[in-house]
Amino acid sequence: MYAPHVRRHALALLDSGISQTDVSRQTGINRTTLREWSQDRSLADKYLGTDLCPRCEPVPRPPTPAHAYSYLLGLYLGDGCLSPAGDPRKKIWRLRIACDDKWPGLQRECADAIAAVRPDHKVGRVQAVGCTMICGQWKHWPCVFPQHGPGKKHERLIALEPWQQVIVEEHSERFVRGLMHSDGSRVLNRIPKKDGRGFHAYPRYLFANTSRDIVGLFTDALDRLGIPWKAHVKRQPSVLSQRAISISRKDAVARMDTFVGPKY
């Protein structure tokens, strides 16, 4: 059994026109195997794909597709966690994203993002109280979500790796959408009319998280997109105080509506 990067390297050599004999000599892979790989790419690709981790290759790559990853990173930072799955000797991790049962569309979008980043693998659903855990199993989730660590996210430093920073800068809208879908909402704000008869209602976006770092990542993305925001500190019934961000200006709400919109 060969590591994925060995196979890819051998196929790249063959594709560049080097003979099977020479590739075999260079790589130590026998010619029958090389012939099989070059004749049936689907087989090779399928085999390659079973445990392919872009971060574990000799030259690490960012996960793809970047737009799906950027969205999934937002969901993960908001409502996701990694935990060991099954037999600990197998070192398989389960990614779980909690999705409220009120929003079946969001559950589908979350499942699609997991399937895009980790293709050809089953996305599971586990019913919990009021929400569904959308799950995917992979040895390499901690490689693509290096923010994983012991303890709660708000009790430790959450900083993006440089390659993640590149992705969220290129796909800021997708990142904001993921964060909003996990810890945000689009609500109607009601202001009493001056004459006391009824209310003015206007939409605004709210985002709240107990991690100062995650809120910082959210506002950095808004700044890149040129969307004005305001910070509030929201006292929770529990001891935690959440940092809340509101986006209320009419033009800013209209801009957010183009790539976030109401939950569905």
Interface with Zn ion by CB under 5 A: which residues?
53, 55-56, 140, 143
Q: Least distance to Zn ion from the beta carbon of 140, Å?
A: 3
Q: Distance from CA of residue 162 to its chain's centroid?
A: 16
Q: Least distance to Zn ion from the beta carbon of 144, Å?
A: 7
Find the DSSP H helices in 128-240: 141-144, 162-170, 172-183, 212-225
Q: Least distance to Zn ion from the beta carbon of 58, Å?
A: 12
Q: Least distance to Zn ion from the beta carbon of 214, Å?
A: 23
Radius of gyration, alpha carbons of the chain: 23
Nearer Cβ to Zn ion (140/174): 140
Nearer Cβ to Zn ion (94/255): 94
Nearer Cβ to Zn ion (140/177): 140
Burial of 180: CB neighbours in 10 Å, binned 0-12, 13-18, 19+: buried
Q: Which of 55, 69, 56 is nearest to 167 (CA)?
A: 69
Nearer Cβ to Zn ion (56/158): 56
Q: Is 188 helix (H, G, I), strand (E, B) or coil?
A: strand
Contacts of 212 (CB under 8 A, 6+ apart): 154, 243
Do 95 and 76 form a contact (C-beta atoms < 8 A)?
yes
d(CA 56, CA 68): 20
Contacts of 225 (CB under 8 A, 6+ apart): 172, 173, 176, 255
Q: Least distance to Zn ion from the beta carbon of 142, Å?
A: 8
Q: Least distance to Zn ion from the beta carbon of 109, Å?
A: 25
Nearer Cβ to Zn ion (5/224): 5
Nearer Cβ to Zn ion (9/140): 140
